[in-house]
Amino acid sequence: MARPSKYSEELRDRAVRMVAEVRPDYPSQWAAICAVSSKLGIGTPETLRTWIRRREVDAGSRPGVTTEQAAEVARLKREVAELRRANEILKAAATFFAAELDRPAKR
């Protein structure tokens, strides 16, 4: 489960939009990211850069695993772990009951 962010989704959206809007005013995207992150009080420019990269991946303009795909993979991994635990329990129960059937009955 992801930990809660100290930045709201609205702030993230606004910051990503601002970088796109002010990018022509700066010599590089990194310079724009540094300026916007300091204006909005975002801890480090790297935080904003990762938000931008995540949005690019989710939009399909950058290769990578989308947020939705990553969530689905995590859900499936949890489900597989749960099924493996259930299988181990069933194997142990089957072994126990098979051993009970092999014992001679008491009269």
**Domain ranges in the chain?**
8-64, 65-107
- The fold of 8-64 is Arc Repressor Mutant, subunit A (1.10.10)
Query: Do 37 and 15 touch, CB atoms closer than 8 A?
Result: yes
What contacts 24+ positions apart, CB below 8 Å, involve 24-32?
Answer: none
For the entire predicted model, the pTM comes to 0.69
Q: What is the pLDDT of residues 46-82, one digit of tens each?
A: 999 999 999 999 999 999 999 999 999 999 999 999 9
User: What pLDDT digit, counting tens, does each position of 21-44 carry?
Assistant: 999 999 999 999 999 999 999 989
The CA-atom distances, in angstroms, between 79 and each of 65, 76, 92 are 20, 5, 20
